[in-house]
Amino acid sequence: MSKTMHAKIHTFPTPLGWMALVGEERTLNRSVFGYTTPDAAVHAAMRWDRHWSSVVLDTTCAIAAAMEQAKWSPFFYELAERLTRFAAGEVQSFSDIRLDVNALTPFSQRVLAACRTIPWGQTSTYGELARRCGSPGAARAVGNILARNRFPIIVPCHRILPANGQFGGFSAPQGTAMKKRLLAMEHA
């Protein structure tokens, strides 16, 4: 089933690099971070799920910050502010942010929901997350779901580690170096 989506892309600089938020009204469809330019963040944000066959985007960039902020809905302006504070090392929770997870399987939705409950400064393992989702033994499936996390930081997949205590992979720019940076920032 195809879906035509009317979304806005909002980009803004943070201490963790350029971030982009994609969404409609008060719902987040995708977020990306860690990019060196706003164009790179927009390009990464436009890697759409196969379920969307047609995407209509109103693209805005925060290069002229005052002009840009006037175009943003209050929801995205507030979220950008909170993400910027997070990137600067301030404790933030994003559990109140509504996410568009309709195209995900029920198991994927449970994994993301469980991951969102892991607070700042704490970590868990893929196996523990699988158990919390009612599927012990599905650690690899949990890892695959988090590798495609469309909402990094909002769904803090950087807080999930392999059982062997290593850092595992991370799909954001700079890979595991970024994951280590986020965990060090959170003192996890």
Active site residues: 157
Paired tokens of 168? 């595992």
20 forms beta bridges with 11, 32
Residue at 9: amino acid letter: I
Contact residues for 120 (Cβ-Cβ < 8 A; gap 6+): 91, 92, 93, 186
∠ CA 168-95-67, rounded to 5° = 100
- 8-state DSSP, 72: S
CA dihedral sign of residues 158, 161, 167, 170: negative
Rounded CA gap, 188 and 182, in Å?
A: 9
